[in-house]
Amino acid sequence: MSQPFRTEKGGRIDRAEQLTFTFDGEEMQGHKGDTLASALLANGVHLVGRSFKYHRPRGILTAGSEEPNALVGVYRNGDQTPNLRATQVELYQGLEAISQNRFPSLGFDIGAVNDLLSPLFPAGFYYKTFMWPHAFWDKVYEPIIRSAAGLGKPPKNPDHDVYGNIYAHCDVLVVGSGPTGLAAALAAGETGAKVMLVDEQAEFGGSLLSEVSASIDGKDPADFVTETVAKLAAMDNVTLLPRTTAFGYFAHNFISLAERVTEHLSNPDPKLPRERLWQVRAKEVVIAAGAIERPMVFPENDRPGILLADAGRTYLNRYGVKVGHKVLVATACDSAWQAAFDLADHGVDVVAIVDLRETPPESLMSIAEARGIRVEAGCVVTGTLGRKRVKGALIGRLMTSGQVASGGQIACDALLMSGGWTPTVSLYSQSRGKVVWDSEKGAYVPGVSVQKERSAGGAKGLYGLQATLEDGYAAGEEAAKAATGKSAKVTYASATGGEAGSGGILGALPHDRNAARVKAFVDYQNDVTAKDVKLAVREGMHSIEHIKRYTTTGMATDQGRLSNMNALEIASGALQKPMTDVGLTTFRQPYTPTTFGLFAGVSRGDFFDPVRKTPSHDWVVENGGVFEDVGQWKRTWYFPKNGEDMHAAVARECKTVRESVGLFDASTLGKIEVVGPDAAEFLERMYTNPWKKLAPGRCRYGLLLNDAGFITDDGVIGRLAEDRFHVTTTTGGAPSVFATMEDYLQTEWPDLNVWITSTTEQFAVAAVQGPKAREVIAPFIEGVDLSADAFPHMSVKQATFCGVPCRLFRISFTGELGFEINVPRRHGKMMWETLAKEIEKHNGTVYGTESMHVLRAEKGYIIVGQDTDGTVTPQDAGMTWAISKNKFDFVGKRGLARPDLVADGRKQFVGLLTKDPKVKLEEGAQITTAEQPATGTPAEGHVTSSYYSPALDRTIALAIVKNGHALEGKTLYVPMPTGSIPVEVTSTVFYDKEGARINV
């Protein structure tokens, strides 16, 4: 029969709808409403994975997101998503899942030899063992460890799914939809407050969905859930988000949610995102995350078939699945007894309840007796039998001496355990709240709220159906009142049954076994045993933070929600310190593993970063230009013709510019409009150069320093009118120069009457450079006499280009006659195409950034950020001429007078010529005085720019060198792996030293 462990009736699954799925290729059946875990259990499959380190067979332990063992890979469209918790994977028709961390198969795993060799793998094993020889770490140890360790394999293909992103605001965010969360959402919703209710599970209701022995207002808890959710759904002010994990609580009540939109569907609508990231700013938060059950730490507590008691109860009541036919219940608290009773009511043979307590409550004892269940009080499980499935348990009786006496064996095919409950304080802890120890509850509970949140119900250690409902209503009312000031009268539902139990145990249980040989697991996912925690303490780890990292306990995907409290108690025992003195590690975001896709959202590929294109872009694409990325800009690098390589193309472009004319797209240069009565005064204070006497219609090169005295930017500034300047900056410096100007203007000199506006995007700029530049632009320009006398070098004028208003600059970054035409951006394409056609008549060329670099290097013009590195002063760069001597102040003036900036021995900007004109230096190469410097000799400087110069038919380089200005004519060396390259220090101007070409 299929699904041999399915109950005959009950549960919330749709028995009419049968679904087929595969696990490791084996076909099985389940029902709509199942999780992969419940469907596997219905088919009798407990063994679902191998443990991380020892490769021990592992089964499903929990029914929630804290599941440490049942991590599976799920295939969809040929891609595999690894490490999904089977307890959270909803079953759909055709689901394909695989187990992980096993080879060659789940049933026979070679890695399991680690379990036999486990005495060799204690805590800190890696740190101790793979220390020698040192060189082996990279080559041998790490690759082997990496291939042997790990869980799922990452997918190999790019993620083809789409991920969404939403920002939302609400008055009250309720996290968790158990009794507390539902009550809170309802109470808050009734006030009219904007409420969001989120739950990581597919269905709202939390623990109510597996509660069958209590009633609320005389109804089944599940019906209460249905009715309450219907009420909430009918409220316009309430947003319901199932399958949504509140995974991060950040500053100022900013909460991140991960909504799984399509993962549970067999054939999702391709238009829908797989997951959606909600970033919510909530005025108030109610944390109703509940509590989770703690495993008991007894030897071999990790065999498949051993589950938490409440998980067993959930599988039974919610999913209609019996975890076994002969079930043993081991507990230290009341709640697990209810699991035993529910199982017995479904005809499961509950072989015994083993309770650590000498005298469990009489009320429970009598119910057990009525059902004929054997009770072993004052007993513990001291070991289990079986390998791929639990076959039986060893029982030990606790003696008054503290010793354990053997109490025989009990056969079983499943074991449910409960060490008590741990409030889920993760979100509270993420909100930076400090948990406090509640000795009565035996748990850490939320302390004072740091942000606008309140924990309610199980999340603060409050148990029992009636109490959690009441606390939920109160929390919802309070939160709504705090957020909106409004309140409403809410009728509280009242519960019968589902009382809070008592009991619970922390730490390792006593046993009569050989302590050196048995393994009692504390952290299942990371294979950390009680022994490992004790060993860590013995080896000197006295802080819980050290113990955690040394043993890796609590570092699994549940962040220690299952393991922390037990580990803490064991550590406290070993340290002989009270638990509260040992400390607690902090829960951090994310609450559960979260996909990278969710964080990336749409910021992938072309949307990762904005792409900025100039008006010539399409023309360049059509004409085969090659682009380079300059920040976000796509700039044309060079224009190869007839199969040229870059070197040939650049050589031709440079030569053509010097011989006839070239056209270059300079649109990316930063542009800032500085306007106002105090505009000249403002620039006077910002830049090193004088501006007040610059006549309208003239330009000047401007050098910008920071207050430390170092060069930060440069560019030509044109004065259009008394009160209006057109400032240009470097392409990369545009935003920071603008921000710096705003800063000084707003905070240092608010008295200045100046407005500044970034106009980078407003203008398209074409640079026409070369002896024939004037002839090229003349046919299109009106309103300017272009003759050398009327419009000399460093002039600016408002004119028209083909009838379009333009700002015409006569400036040069090549050393040739040059013009830069600024037109409104929308006319940029027209201007570019017009000029590109025109230069052909003059045998001109279009050129890109590489030629621009070569041409400027031939003239020794610096590029800020390439030839300077933030430690270069104008004096270092040989630009003392740019500093006005007569100004009272400018940014950097005082800095330049600092002792270190005027001291001898600074690195200065020089030219370098290799002795062999064919040898091109590498940019960044170090420069030394000795041909073969001894190891450890500090460099004298480094090469900042290096090119082949077509004009000189040889290589040239620029560099910063210690005391470089005094070294002209001297020989230095650039040591390279292939040998030391001798270079001669020269002037930085290699071509047209007298600058005649620029003034024609």
Partner 1 sequence: MLLIYCPYCQVERSEMEFACRGEAHVVRPADPSKATDEEWVEFLYMRDNTKGVAAERWRHIHGCGRFFNAVRDTVSDKFLKIYKTGEPKPDLEALAKEAGK
**Residues found near partner 1 in the complex (CB under 8 A):** 250-254, 279, 281, 432, 450, 707-708, 739, 742-743, 746-748, 750, 888-889, 893-895, 897-899
E strand map for 86-210: 96-98, 163-175, 195-198
Report the candidate in 908, 912, 933 with the shortest Cα–Cα distance to residue 921: 912
Which of 17, 742 has the CB closer to partner 1?
742
Q: How far is the CB of 684 from partner 1 (least distance, A)?
A: 14
Q: How far is the CB of 564 from partner 1 (least distance, A)?
A: 25
Which of 621, 897 has the CB closer to partner 1?
897
Around Cβ 366, how many Cβ atoms within 10 Å?
A: 10
Which of 374, 894 has the CB closer to partner 1?
894
Which of 108, 888 has the CB closer to partner 1?
888
Distance CA 166, CA 861 (A): 49
Which of 444, 738 has the CB closer to partner 1?
738
Q: How far is the CB of 895 from partner 1 (least distance, A)?
A: 7
Three-state DSSP at 248 gives: strand
Which of 72, 277 has the CB closer to partner 1?
277
332: tokens are 């230290």
Question: Which is it for strands 291-293 and 495-496: parallel, antiparallel or unpaired?
Answer: unpaired
Q: How far is the CB of 554 from partner 1 (least distance, A)?
A: 25
What string of DSSP letters covers 714-729? EEEEEEEETTEEEEEE
The answer, yes or no, to whether the previous bond of 750 is cis (omega within 30 of 0) is no
Which of 181, 732 has the CB closer to partner 1?
732
Biggest CA-to-CA distance, the chain: 115
Q: How far is the CB of 898 from partner 1 (least distance, A)?
A: 6
Q: How far is the CB of 748 from partner 1 (least distance, A)?
A: 5
Report the candidate in 877, 865, 904 with the shortest Cα–Cα distance to residue 960: 877
Residue 72 identity (one-letter amino acid): V
Three-state DSSP at 492 gives: coil
Q: How far is the CB of 756 from partner 1 (least distance, A)?
A: 10
Asked whether 340 and 329 are in contact (CB, 8 A), the reply is: yes
Q: What residue spans of 784-848 are helical by DSSP H?
A: 828-841
Which of 46, 194 has the CB closer to partner 1?
194
Three-state DSSP at 179 gives: helix
Which of 166, 739 has the CB closer to partner 1?
739
Asked whether 579 and 436 are in contact (CB, 8 A), the reply is: no
Q: How far is the CB of 256 from partner 1 (least distance, A)?
A: 9
Distance CA 139, CA 146 (A): 12
Q: How far is the CB of 718 from partner 1 (least distance, A)?
A: 24
Q: How far is the CB of 371 from partner 1 (least distance, A)?
A: 54
Asked whether 799 and 778 are in contact (CB, 8 A), the reply is: no
Distance CA 18, CA 658 (A): 80
Q: How far is the CB of 105 from partner 1 (least distance, A)?
A: 47
Report the candidate in 221, 137, 134 with the shortest Cα–Cα distance to residue 182: 221
Asked whether 450 and 433 are in contact (CB, 8 A), the reply is: yes
Q: How far is the CB of 531 from partner 1 (least distance, A)?
A: 39
Three-state DSSP at 484 gives: helix
Asked whether 441 and 448 are in contact (CB, 8 A), the reply is: no
Which of 252, 837 has the CB closer to partner 1?
252
Q: How far is CA 132 from CA 127, 146, 227, 276, in A?
A: 11, 18, 66, 48
Report the Cα–Cα distance between both ends of the chain, in Å, rounded.
99
Distance CA 313, CA 290 (A): 16
Report the candidate in 960, 968, 974 with the shortest Cα–Cα distance to residue 922: 974
Which of 125, 254 has the CB closer to partner 1?
254
Q: How far is the CB of 281 from partner 1 (least distance, A)?
A: 7
Asked whether 193 and 484 are in contact (CB, 8 A), the reply is: yes
Q: How far is the CB of 254 from partner 1 (least distance, A)?
A: 5
User: Residue 83: which H helix or E strand, with range?
Assistant: strand 79-85
Q: How far is the CB of 904 from partner 1 (least distance, A)?
A: 17
Which of 518, 708 has the CB closer to partner 1?
708
- Residues 6 or more apart in contact with residue 62 via CB below 8 angstroms: 68, 87, 292, 293, 307, 308, 311, 562
User: Residue 900: which H helix or E strand, with range?
Assistant: helix 899-902
Which of 10, 874 has the CB closer to partner 1?
874
Which of 169, 538 has the CB closer to partner 1?
169
Q: CA Rg, the chain, in Å?
A: 38
Residue 495 identity (one-letter amino acid): A
Asked whether 242 and 201 are in contact (CB, 8 A), the reply is: yes
954: tokens are 């040889």
Cα 917 → chain centroid:
50
Which of 229, 282 has the CB closer to partner 1?
282
Q: How far is the CB of 250 from partner 1 (least distance, A)?
A: 6
Which of 578, 750 has the CB closer to partner 1?
750
Distance CA 419, CA 295 (A): 5
- Residues 6 or more apart in contact with residue 483 via CB below 8 angstroms: 171, 172, 193, 283, 284, 452
Q: How far is the CB of 453 from partner 1 (least distance, A)?
A: 14
Which of 279, 866 has the CB closer to partner 1?
279
